[in-house]
Every structure is written in structure tokens, then in C-alpha cells.
Amino acid sequence: MTPSWQNHVTVSARVLHEMLHALRGSRGKEVAERTLASAGIPRPLLHRADARITRQQYGALYRAIAATLDDEMLGLWSRPIRSGTLKYLMLSVLDAPTVLVALNRFVRFWNLLLDDYRLYIAIRQDTVRIALLERTPGLDVKPLGHALMMKLIHGAASWLLGREIELLEAAFRFPKPRHVEDYVFMFPGAVRFDSEATGIILSYADCAAAFKREKHELWAFLKRAPEDWVFRPVESGTIVARTRAQLEQALSEPLTIQGLAAALHMSVRTLNRRFVEEGTHFQQVKDGLRRDIAVHRLTHSNVPVAALAFDLGFADATGFCRAFRHWTGSSPGDYRRDAREEE
């Protein structure tokens, strides 16, 4: 069962510009704004550097852009990935005897479609590496395109197996983005930037495993796209996932790092080291969870701000409003009002 906090995960609004880029260029600003509104995303979020959107808004916008452009990869590659491509890709791997055979078919399939990049798969000892390589040196890197391709590979393979495939590393050929925390939920493993090539490293044991999936299961998977491969449940033992799960059990109650360490059966020193390894710290994770729940409830409910502040562990609404403005650049009331304008 997916922990409820994962339904509250939000995504940086910075990604909106990447998602809308091709649509603006081919259909114009007005079509892009109408598409944004159809997904229930307020236009002001485009200009708020620290704003967040819910995973439901992300999915709705993704589907709207894909339908408008007839491109399942949002115009992020040199040629359109026409509607139906993902369906036929998944049908081509559904009868594979193992995940590894499915991944090899996946690679060959995409290499028939892409003319700016090619996928490369290699087995090394107990790992499987899949990399995205330039066909022509010097190509401009579109970070969202690279991230989505890696997420599709990992998410689709995990769906085939019926559980999260261990992701040992995700590397990207672009600098660390300002919304780097989003990658924690997209890629539950070590993440590197400024790499020579974009790629992921998977567990060979998982890839060599057999699987069995039926067509009727595939239709449900496709209907929920892209959520089922972008927002795969974080089932790994990341300290961020374990902390958010622990915090959500009693979010209105004060929880110190000492209390968290005791609940997770480790020392404070070990806990802090684990946070550093994942590029974060206790307060950042705690604030991130409170921010995500606040954004979700302001967008999807009419809960009073004062009640929301209490539920999130704030002593009063003033403290919550101050924190929310720090997190998103907007007051809770303005954020909710903007969202209502798009309904």
C-alpha cells in the first residue's frame, strides 16, 4: 500500500516552463495558457520561482500537452512521439520472459524512434546500466526530457515486475537543478549531475527476474500515465521516505531529530549522516512534507487556514502563513484564490 504522504508529493513549478516550451513554440502563448488552465494550474505559478504544483496537476497538464501536440513526450525530442507509442511499446515487452529481455526490447524500440539520441544497455557484474547517448556531439540537453526517459525506463520495468526495481544510481548530463529535491521522489537512489551521459544503474538480480502481466493490467497502467511511471512509490529505505512516513503519523505533534532517531532505531549522528548522503537535513524534510500537504489541501479542499496550521503542527495561523510564504512565495489565501480562478 502506498504511504499517504506520497499522494501529497508536489513538484516545483519551475518544471512548468520545460513542459510548456514546445507547446508555446508550435501553438503560441494563448494555447499554452489555455492548456495550463485546463489542468487547474493558476497562471501566476509560472512566475513564482518557489511555487509548487500537485502530482495531480502535473499529470493533468502532461496529458493535456501530449493530446494537444500529439506527442507523448511533450515535444522534448527531435521528432514527435505520436499518441499510442507507449501502448505499442508496452505491448512489445509484455510477453518477455524476464525484465532484462523487456529492457532490451525497450532499448531497440526507442532507437527506432530517436534520431538525436540512442539508448545503450550494458551488463556489468551484478548491475545493468542503461544510458542515453548523443548520436551527434554537442546537442542541447533538455533536462526534463532526459529525466522523463529515465523515469519511463525505471517506472515501466518496476511495473512489469510488480515492485520497485532497485535503482542504484541515476546520473544526468546537466547541472544540478534548483528543484533538486524533486529527484528524491522520482529516483529513489543515488543521484549525480554534470555526468558525461544520462543513465541509470539497476540491480541485475531484479532485471533477471521473470514477470507476468496481462493486457487488462496494461490498460489500467496506460490510463494512469504518466503518474504510474513518474511517481512510482518510494519503497526503498531512503531516509527521506522513512522520515516523511514517521512524521505523517503525528504531524501535529512536535518531533525532534532525537525523537526521530529513536523511532528509526539509530543514533542522531548516524541519522544526520544519512541525511547528508541524500543531500538534505531533518528540518528540510519536515518542512517539505508540511509544504506539500499544505499545497495539496489548499488546492483540493476548503479547510480553513487556521485549522490547516494546527494540523501541520503550527502554534497559530500567523506562523504557518509566514512559513508558507517562505516555502512558495505566496500567502495561503492568495495561493488558494489563484487556484480557484482556474476552476
pLDDT band at 3 (very low <50, low <70, confident <90, very high): very low
2: pLDDT strictly greater than 50:
no
Most confident of the ranges 49-58, 175-184, 189-198, 249-258:
189-198
202: pLDDT strictly greater than 70:
yes
Residue 26 DSSP label: H
pLDDT attached to residue 237: 64
Exposure string of 308-336, with b = 16+ CB inside 10 Å and e = fewer, is bbebbbbeebeebbebbeebbbbebebbb
φ, ψ dihedrals at 103, nearest 5°: -65, -40
CB count in 10 Å sphere of residue 130: 23
- Between 83 and 250, where is the model more confident? 83
Q: Position of cell 543521484?
A: 191
Q: Are 155 and 229 in contact (CB under 8 A)?
A: yes
189: pLDDT strictly greater than 80:
no
Torsion of CA 103, 146, 176, 47, to 10 degrees: -140
Exposure string of 219-252, with b = 16+ CB inside 10 Å and e = fewer, is eebeeebbbbbbbbbbeeebbbbbbbebbbeebe
Which contacts (CB < 8 Å, 24+ apart) does range 34-43 have? 35/61, 35/64, 35/65, 35/68, 36/61, 37/342, 38/64, 39/64, 40/299, 40/339, 40/342, 40/343, 41/16, 41/342, 42/338, 42/339, 42/341, 42/342, 43/338, 43/342
In which element (H, E) is residue 22 found?
helix 15-27
Residue range 108-115: mean pLDDT, rounded: 95
236: pLDDT strictly greater than 60:
no
211: pLDDT strictly greater than 90:
yes
Round the average pLDDT of the chain to a whole number and report it: 88
Residue 82 DSSP label: -
Euclidean distance between CA atoms 141 and 279, whole angstroms: 24
Euclidean distance between CA atoms 68 and 320, whole angstroms: 39
Rounded to 5, what percent of the chain is helix, strand, coil? 55, 10, 35
**Parallel, antiparallel, or unpaired for β 117-124 and 52-54?**
unpaired
Of the chain, the percentage scoring pLDDT greater than 70 comes to 95
pTM equals: 0.81
pLDDT band at 1 (very low <50, low <70, confident <90, very high): very low
pLDDT digits (tens, 9 = 90+) for 71-85: 999 999 999 999 999
**Residue type at position 229:** W
Euclidean distance between CA atoms 293 and 5, whole angstroms: 8
Of the chain, the percentage scoring pLDDT greater than 90 comes to 57
Q: Position of cell 508529493?
A: 9
Cis peptide before 226 (omega within 30 of 0): yes
Q: Where are the domains of the chain?
A: 81-235, 239-341
The CATH fold of domain 239-341:
Arc Repressor Mutant, subunit A (1.10.10)
Euclidean distance between CA atoms 132 and 147, whole angstroms: 10
Q: How many CA atoms lie within 13 A of 87 on its CB side?
A: 10
Residue range 140-156: mean pLDDT, rounded: 94
CB count in 10 Å sphere of residue 91: 12
pLDDT attached to residue 47: 80
pLDDT attached to residue 74: 95
